[in-house]
Structures are given as structure tokens and as C-alpha cells.
Structure 1
Amino acid sequence: MTARMKELAGEIVRLQAELDREIEQRRRALGWSIKRRIIRFEEGIVAQQRQLRISVTGLLKQASPATILSAPVIYSMIVPLALLDLWASIFQAICFRAYKIPRIKRSDYIALDRGHLAYLNWIEALNCAYCGYGNGVIAYVREISSRTEQYWCPIKHAVRISDPHKRYYEFLEFGDAEGYRARLESFRDGLRDPAGAKRAIDAGSRPLP
């Protein structure tokens, strides 16, 4: 990693911390907080939210025919999503154990917490749960596949990739044959011991990802 890349990475970390502070301030302004994955609303907030709830009948009256007709197609995606979720979990349970890579906590990516919102009727809450599950599965699988790519092929593509995963920026440049042979095991070590890899980077002892 070059000095400029380290500088940019540090700036990203600083901005993320600033964003987290702004999010926390916004949470307090909306009257809720979260601690250890438990959501707490201030007194009276739930009652205020219920006043804004639309009945299921009212929601269906507002829906266009296209929305109603397309709903079964949308929900049919639950089958491949559930299979992907199951297969990815089996994959990491077997392969990551074999590679000695720490396994990913599924709960860090799949959140079904929107049902706590009192302003949602049961159809809206179901829709939110479905979207949370679907996007959570994709994020979960993406992290599994990104760790797999770092283990087997930490090389950037020659062409520009739209929205690459977060590990991609640390990968070796396309065509860096010497770097690949010299550093492949370092990338793998970084997966097995992320804390050790960070210490090595900070000390400048070796250029781990």
C-alpha cells in the first residue's frame, strides 16, 4: 500500500466515524436508541407512530394493479435467496474451516428489525422484513465471496469494476506477477489474523492487505 493509499484509507476511517456520530444524533432526534441490538423508543414515540399507520385496506386501495400483480413475482425470489443463504453458510462452514479463515457472523448482515416500527401495518412490515432478508443475504454472501477471492486471487481486474467489495482496493495490481508470487501468502495470513495483519501494516514490517 502506498503512502497516498494509506492516507486515503485513514480519511475514510475518519469520515466513517464522523458519519456514525451524525447517525447517532439523528437517532436521538427521532426518539430512539439501540444498545446490544435492543431497540428502545422514548416514551410516547410508539403512540405517535401508530397514529401514522395506514390500514391494510387503505394501503391496498392506494396500490396500482401492476403492484398487486407483480407481488407474487417479487416474493418468488425468496426461494433462490433462501437456497443461496443455506448454501453459502454450508460453504463457509466447510471451506473456511479448511482454510483456517474466521467464519462470518450471519447476524451481522441480516437484520429483521423494522417490525418494531409502529407506523407500519403488517403488509408493510412483511415487505420490510423481506427486503431486509434479501439484501442481507446478498451482503452476507458478498463478504464470503470477497474473503474467498482474497484467499485465492487477490488481483485487481484490468477493466474498471463498478462498486467492488471493500477488500478489492487492497488487491495486487493487474500484471504484478512478482507481487502475486511474493505476497499471496501474506493476503491469506491477513484473513486468518486480521489484527496481526493490521499491526504489521502499522509497523511497516510487511505489506499485508
Structure 2
Amino acid sequence: MPDRLEDLQASLARIEAQIEQEWEARRAKARYRIEKGRVIFEEDVRAAHRRARERLWSFLKRTNALVVLTAPFIYACIIPFVLLDLFVTVYQAICFPVYGIQKVRRRDHIVIDRQYLGYLNALQKLNCVYCGYGNGVISYVREIAGRTEKYWCPIKHASRVRGTHRFYCDFCDYGDADAFCAKREELRAELRKVEDK
């Protein structure tokens, strides 16, 4: 018999499907399609985007000087992002086949496509590429770490944890040794057939 938590998870899955349908409707309203990985807007939409673009010089003139001074600190983070991306990709390539865990598709998490928006100037496009990469790396790493945690230690914490990954709700309750012993191999087996979302 399903328990309350399973019912709530099923409700959440239905809501997520509805959210995806709404996003699809919004994509259609924005009038673009994706061909061979490239976003293609209808011509009149592209023209409207070009008219809305703020010129780079105008954008820079109105930018607060303190914001400009913080830029080196922001862009310096590219180094740890690239290193984290590299190390986690190598970790997954070596360890996941040994553990029998399905690999995470990097392209599902690191999405860089905002540079196709005609209403962004060159600097805004660069910033969007940077943010897409940085947040994509974090998402990619989180998925790999979540699968690793499910394999090695699928036990919920005693304290409430904010922003848990998608596998966490399946973990055994804290202090439930019987469930941990009974479910550990089942949870590991699920990692062989994970569906990427």
C-alpha cells in the first residue's frame, strides 16, 4: 500500500509534467524552433529583438562603476568551474562503470543557448554564456553527486536539508537500519536505469 510520501511524490511528478507542458506552450508563443541544436526565431521576431537591443556603449555608460570593479571576481570563478567540470567528468568516466551507475549526460545540464537572442548586446551574451556554463556545471555535478550518494549512502539526514537532489526522497529514513539493509541493493540497481530529466 502506498504511503503518504509516495502519494506526494506521484503528485509532484504530475505537477512537473504540467509545468513542462506550460513551458512548451510558452516556447510556441515565443515563436522559435530548434534545428540541429540551434535556436531559430521567426524573421519578424528576430527583427523585433534587434530593435530592442541596447548598444554596448550605452549599456556600459549606464553601468555602475562598482559593478565593473566586481567583474574580475566573477570571471575568476571560471577556473574552479572548469576544473570541477573536468575532475567530475573524469571521476564519472572511471567510477560509474565500475559501480554500475548510468552516466550523467553533460549536455543535459550545461546548456549554452542565450547567445542566439538578438536583443542582447555582446557583453550581455558573454555574461549569459558564462552563467549558463557555471550553473550548468553545478547542475551536472549535483546530479553526479546525487547518484553517488544514492549508491554509497542512501540515508536521509536527521536534520532538514534545503534543496535536496532528486534521489533524496527515496533514501532510507535516518535511524532505520532495517530499511537501509533491505533497500540498499534495490536503490543501487535503480541507478542502472536512471531516466535523465
How many matched pairs?
Answer: 195
The 5 A counterparts of 1:53-64 are 53-64=53-64
Partner of 2:80: 80
TM-score w.r.t. length of structure 2: 0.94
TM-score w.r.t. length of structure 1: 0.89
Q: Give the secondary structure class of the aligned counterpart of 1:179.
A: helix
Q: Give the secondary structure class of the aligned counterpart of 2:104.
A: coil
Partner of 1:200: none
Q: Give the secondary structure class of the aligned counterpart of 2:95.
A: helix
Percent identity (aligned)? 44
Partner of 1:103: 103
Q: 1:37 to 1:7 in 2, by over 3 A?
A: farther
Question: Given residue 72 of structure 1, which amino acid in structure 2 is its aligned partner?
Answer: P
Bigger mean CA deviation after superposition, 131-140 or 27-36: 27-36
Partner of 1:198: none
| RMSD, matched Cα | 1.5
- Say whether residues 1:156 and 2:167 are aligned partners: no
After superposition, give the CA deviation of every residue in 1:80-104 in whole Å (9 maximum; x if it has no partner): 0000000000000011011121111
Give, in whole Å, the separation in 2 of the partners of 1:21 and 1:182: 37
Question: Which stretches of structure 1, 4 residues or longer, exceed 6 Å deviation after superposition?
Answer: none
After superposition, give the CA deviation of every residue in 1:98-136 in whole Å (9 maximum; x if it has no partner): 112111110000011001100111100000000000000
Q: 1:129 to 1:100 in 2, by over 3 A?
A: same
Q: Give the secondary structure class of the aligned counterpart of 1:84.
A: helix
Bigger mean CA deviation after superposition, 112-121 or 5-14: 5-14
Question: Given residue 131 of structure 1, which amino acid in structure 2 is its aligned partner?
Answer: C
Partner of 2:183: 183
Give, in whole Å, the separation in 2 of the partners of 1:36 and 1:15: 30
Partner of 2:48: 48
Question: Given residue 192 of structure 2, which amino acid in structure 1 is its aligned partner?
Answer: R
Give, in whole Å, the separation in 2 of the partners of 1:181 and 1:13: 27
Q: Give the secondary structure class of the aligned counterpart of 1:161.
A: coil
The 5 A counterparts of 1:80-159 are 80-159=80-159
Give, in whole Å, the separation in 2 of the partners of 1:37 and 1:12: 30
For structure 1, list consecutive stretches of 5 or more residues without a partner in the other structure: 196-209
Question: Given residue 148 of structure 2, which amino acid in structure 1 is its aligned partner?
Answer: T
Q: Is the 8 A contact 2:102 2:194 kept in 1?
A: no
Q: 1:126 to 1:22 in 2, by over 3 A?
A: same
Q: Give the secondary structure class of the aligned counterpart of 1:165.
A: coil
Structure 1 residue 35: deviation in Å?
6.0
